[in-house]
Chains A and B, each alone.
Chain A
Amino acid sequence: MTTETQDEGLEYNFAYLDEQTKRMIRRALLKAVAVPGYQVPFAGREMPMPYGWGTGGIQVTASILESEDVLKVIDQGADDTTNAVSIRKFFQRVAGIATTEKTEEATLIQTRHRIPETPLSEGQILVYQVPIPEPLRFLEPRETETRKMHALEEYGLMHVKLYEDIARHGHIATTYAYPVKVNDRYIMDPSPTPKFDNPKMNRCAALQLFGAGREKRIYAVPPYTDVVSLDFEDHPFEIQGWDQPCSICGDSTSFLDEVIMDDQGTRMFVCSDTDHCASRQAQGYQGPGQEAAE
């Protein structure tokens, strides 16, 4: 299937990638789903966006996208950040698919750095953009070594790192890209999502796919798979919280972004998930910021 694009004289295959490439990526995806948390090497292609802009996620999305899919793209939880807009436009252009900002309406959600606040449901697919897929990379820079460590389930180094954090700071000093163990086998990098989102990955009803374009790796968490954030019995995993609710919608359970309002450094806190915040406002919820403005 081909798609007419807005550019005259230019015609791309549906969702940009050629069918052979899609098949190659789908095979990698199947393997990834079969071995949850295992990083499958794949022959990533050069995409018309730079490495680091989500080429891995884009290739995964392009390979599984169907014409009836409804796509949502978020970056930092928001639909309107520049790169989310750019990726959404790309797929509108090369696949002509429907897009949405509503989490529950989407069949496929591509994300960078967040998991939507609205719980995902069966049949939905969440595609993560991943910069460094290897959770052990900052402990051991060599791929030849880290692959061995995964194969032998040799994860002592990671536990030592977490322990040293506790010894030095009294708590584990990792706030995003917090390592998880998938299906009681592989340690996996959840991509640089805040650890706030880690619990959402556990036994999630949706299929979670991870694409790292520059590093050419794909991995996956099938629906209802155990995803456990690493911790110690006496230092259990905990997520971050805020002292105040969202200024706009008043939610006190969502991830909040800090916004600097003026030169005096006045702050306000608002939901990072724009769809979540907007739907709460539509339901009539108000935050302290709104009440003050009235």
Chain B
Amino acid sequence: MYVAVKGGERAIDNAHRLLAEDRRGDPSVPDISVAQIREQMKLAVGRVMTEGSVYDPDLAALALKQARGDMIEAIFLVRAYRTTLARFGNSLPVKTGAMKIDRRISAAFKDVPGGQILGPTFDYTHRLIDFKLAADGELPEEAISSEEAAPHALHVLDLLAGEGLVEMPEASINDEAPGDITRTPVEYPMDRQTRLQSLARGDEGFLLALGYSTQRGYAKNHPFAGEIRVGRVAVEFQPEELGFPIQIGEMEMTECNMINQFKGSKTAPPQFTRGYGVALGHGERKAMAMALVDRSLRAGELGEERTAPAQDEEFVLSHCDNVQATGFVEHLKLPHYVDFQSELNLVRKMRKQVDGCMTSAAKEAAE
């Protein structure tokens, strides 16, 4: 005799227990600490902070531990925590021009005031698996510090902006206070500030692919990496009752200014335009991809023809959030018995009709 499936509750509890066990792995292997993840999985932590929209390396490291290394799950954990936090106000815009620089390069100029600072980068490593890392845990040699690396440097593009050859960063930014995609429903068309907010928490892989597509001819826009900088910026907050801002902390971030050729329009002379990208922590790939997509989404504003997916604001912005995307894709795991039953009945009905037609056709043929 059939008894309707019961016990969802017990199954869930057991699944949670299995999950905890699986997260821990072989208990004879030492437990990984949050500090270890924070220090040694730094780029993962950075991505979780960027797409989770919270600067908190410890929280991001903990989320990674809880998520068993799954990026999007960790991002989701951080986001869900973030919404419960009280808001005291908005910090002042960070001054990235005053960044304490760890890395700063420009692909547009051989040398720039302040210098090209390579910093910690994979760029010129040979991608050979380093088996020594598996064997010993020795500390690496200390980097030879150049006598006096400039701790501050102006934005490369600001050097050109004086000549009017590159648009000012403010070019397409209006004076209104920036929107808040976490507090107001999305509406299209979206202003650039709000769009940048959306892209900043957008999925790295998705933006990477879209940025890549613009390089391959889908919304061609001739980009140059005007400047990429990684370093620490001061976070300032101005309490209402205080007449001046106070520094409440420091955070590591990555900023990318792409420059793109622009042929000019009826209202604007030919010049270089900008695409802008940022990431928390050290996230060059994300910042660069974001800058490419930011620029391609400015097509409308700059009077360019919109032909490619990367220029389509609604398409890009409504699909770039990986927490939303993964939720909707993975919800297909939830039961759909009722809908499937309805479709099953429909297909049976349609089959019956088709079979009926076929047999009568066969009869006619036989006759």
Task: Render B76-105 as a binary contact track against A, CB cut-off 8 A, 1 for contact.
Answer: 100110111000000000000000000000
B6 within 8 A of A: yes
Q: Which residue of A lies closest to B184 (CB)?
A: A43
Residues of B within 8 Å of A96, CB to CB, are none
A61 within 8 A of B: no
Stretch from B109-117, B276-284, B344-352 that touches the partner: B344-352
Whether the pair B327, A52 counts as a contact (CB closer than 8 A) is: yes
Whether the pair A84, B185 counts as a contact (CB closer than 8 A) is: no
- Supply 17 further A-B pairs (C-beta < 8 A) apart from A52-B330, A78-B4, A192-B336: A12-B84, A43-B184, A47-B80, A48-B80, A50-B76, A51-B324, A52-B329, A75-B335, A175-B342, A175-B346, A176-B342, A194-B341, A196-B342, A257-B337, A257-B338, A272-B341, A289-B1
Interface residues of A (CB under 8 A from B): 12, 18, 41-48, 50-53, 55, 75-78, 80-86, 89, 112-114, 131, 142-144, 169-171, 173, 175-177, 192-196, 214, 216-217, 240, 242, 247-248, 255-259, 261, 268, 270, 272, 274, 277, 289-290, 293
Alpha-carbon separation in the docked complex, A289 to B343 (Å): 24
Checking A83, A169, A289 against B350 with a beta-carbon cut-off of 8 angstroms, the contacting residue is A169
Whether the pair B83, A45 counts as a contact (CB closer than 8 A) is: yes
Residues of B within 8 Å of A214, CB to CB, are 324, 327-328
Whether the pair B2, A193 counts as a contact (CB closer than 8 A) is: no
A82/B341 contact (C-beta < 8 A), A51-B331, A52-B328, A170-B353 known: no
Tell me the smallest distance from the CB of A118 to a CB of chain B, in Å: 17
Whether the pair B1, A293 counts as a contact (CB closer than 8 A) is: yes
Residues of A within 8 Å of B8, CB to CB, are 80-82, 84-85
Alpha-carbon separation in the docked complex, A227 to B11 (Å): 39
Which of B84, B188, B344 has its CB near the most chain A CB atoms (within 10 A)? B84
Interface residues of B (CB under 8 A from A): 1-2, 4-9, 11-12, 76, 79-80, 82-84, 182-189, 314, 318, 323-324, 326-331, 334-339, 341-346, 349-350, 353
Checking A52, A89, A177 against B331 with a beta-carbon cut-off of 8 angstroms, the contacting residue is A52
Whether the pair A85, B12 counts as a contact (CB closer than 8 A) is: yes
A51/B323 contact (C-beta < 8 A), A175-B343, A194-B339, A258-B341 known: yes
Alpha-carbon separation in the docked complex, A135 to B188 (Å): 19
